[in-house]
């Protein structure tokens, strides 16, 4: 089914993203996975290709377009390849908007040029050992001391935690104010008391560095407060819908590519003298997957249009996020089954996809949290 959401300029960027994957990612993928981290040069290369910073104002070195369809094109093309999607998505779709929407002029002049070029890498630190989806459980604190904030606490499951030069840390700045007591502080590489812990050993996406971060009496200048003091919770809520839509986009695009390869395999692989795809059961499975992916893609495009029009709601994004990630999990599981024993072999992409996609129903808000958000919107 033809997708009407994209225009010629988006198709042009899509080709650029494909070239980036072919020339810069594919030749280095095995090395990055073995090292369990994407080399920083990949971000700089993405900057040269114009794949980061396009939504940063031109005066700060960016492309000057806030059209989220450009984000979607990049996410889709990289998701087709695999593991690098979280790295660039965190940079473009999750962290970047905080700097562009909340940063002061001085902060933008200081950070955005390097961010747009890929010289500076960003991360956001919300989750803690005792607080994941429940932000009310955050214990990291920041206390004002003269011209600084004194930051103490620990974070975990932080994407790009090892590579990051700028970490947006969610901290309590008014302990008795509940959700009205959080602020966002930008911690920079090299600040005294800021230490990176383990590079976490995950079951999938090994090249996406995910780390523990520790803050011990870190003096964060008052000028590194991002947004308004004690409004951090509301800043987070404003950015979460586009983050969740980005995850949904990646889920559908990645699953679609796994399906495409599986369909080809089903046509070529034979059993009992015929292609495995020609057996009625398998043909029905493939038909069902194709249908479900088409339907999910249409809803994603509807949400994408809503972003462009400034109308995407948190509820619509939650629907896209939970449905598309759960669908991707089911699609890839079915694709692995259709590969038989070969699907369990790591030399086949479907095996990697099976473990790499599993996290999508968890990060960015679990499926259960998404359903609860939707349920509450129904007055339940």
Residue 225 and residue 235 in contact, taking contact as beta carbons nearer than 8 Å: no
State residue 225 phi and psi, 5-degree precision.
Answer: -70, 125
For helices 280-308 and 314-338, angle between their N-to-C axes, nearest 10 degrees:
160
Cβ neighbours around 76 below 10 Å, total: 22
Helix (H, G, I), strand (E, B) or coil at 36: coil
Q: What is the C-alpha separation between 186 and 224, in angstroms, rounded? A: 5
- Among 243, 311, 347, 368, the active-site one is 243
Shortest CA distance to 320 belongs to which of 256, 358, 374?
Answer: 374
Q: What is the C-alpha separation between 203 and 127, in angstroms, rounded? A: 19
Say how far residue 89 (Cα) sits from the centre of its chain: 4
Q: At CA 251, angle to CA 343 and CA 95, rounded to 5?
A: 130
Residue with tokens 């010289």: 119
Quick one: DSSP state of residue 138? Answer: -
Q: What is the C-alpha separation between 288 and 333, in angstroms, rounded? A: 13
Q: What is the C-alpha separation between 364 and 356, in angstroms, rounded? A: 15
Q: Annotated catalytic, 9?
A: no
| The 3-state secondary structure of 85-111, one letter per residue | HHHHHHHHHHHHHHHHHHCCHHHHHHH
Contacts of 288 (CB under 8 A, 6+ apart): none
List the catalytic residues: 243
């Amino acid at each position: 089914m033809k997708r009407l959401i994209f225009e010629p300029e988006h198709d042009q960027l899509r080709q650029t993203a494909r070239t980036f994957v072919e020339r810069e990612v594919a030749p280095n993928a095995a090395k990055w996975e073995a090292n369990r981290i994407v080399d920083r040069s990949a971000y700089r290369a993405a900057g040269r290709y114009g794949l980061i910073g396009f939504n940063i104002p031109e005066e700060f070195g960016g492309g000057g377009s806030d059209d989220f369809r450009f984000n979607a094109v990049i996410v889709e093309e990289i998701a087709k390849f695999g593991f690098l999607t979280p790295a660039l998505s965190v940079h473009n779709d999750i962290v970047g908007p905080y700097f562009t929407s909340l940063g002061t002029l001085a902060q933008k002049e200081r950070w955005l040029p390097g961010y747009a070029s890929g010289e500076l890498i960003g991360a956001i630190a919300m989750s803690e050992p005792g607080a994941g989806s429940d932000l009310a459980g955050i214990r990291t604190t920041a206390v004002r001391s003269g011209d600084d904030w004194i930051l103490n606490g620990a974070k975990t499951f932080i994407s790009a935690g090892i590579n990051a030069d700028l970490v947006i840390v969610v901290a309590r700045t008014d302990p008795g104010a509940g959700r009205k007591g959080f602020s966002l502080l930008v911690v920079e590489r090299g600040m005294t008391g800021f230490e990176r812990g383990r590079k976490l050993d995950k079951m999938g996406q090994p090249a996406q560095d995910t780390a523990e971060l520790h803050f011990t009496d870190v003096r964060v200048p008052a000028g590194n407060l991002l947004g308004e003091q004690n409004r951090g919770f509301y800043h987070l809520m404003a950015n979460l819908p586009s983050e969740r839509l980005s995850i949904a986009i990646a889920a559908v695009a990645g699953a679609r590519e796994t399906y495409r390869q599986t369909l080809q395999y089903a046509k070529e692989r034979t059993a009992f003298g015929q292609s495995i795809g020609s057996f009625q059961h398998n043909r029905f499975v493939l038909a069902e997957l194709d249908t479900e992916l088409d339907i999910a893609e249409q809803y994603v495009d509807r949400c994408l249009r809503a972003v462009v029009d400034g109308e995407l709601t948190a509820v619509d994004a939650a629907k896209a996020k939970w449905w598309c990630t759960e669908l991707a999990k089911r699609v890839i599981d079915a694709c692995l089954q259709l590969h038989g024993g070969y699907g369990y072999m790591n030399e086949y992409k479907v095996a990697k996809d099976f473990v790499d996609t599993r996290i999508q129903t968890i990060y960015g808000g679990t499926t259960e949290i998404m359903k609860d958000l939707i349920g509450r919107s129904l007055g339940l």
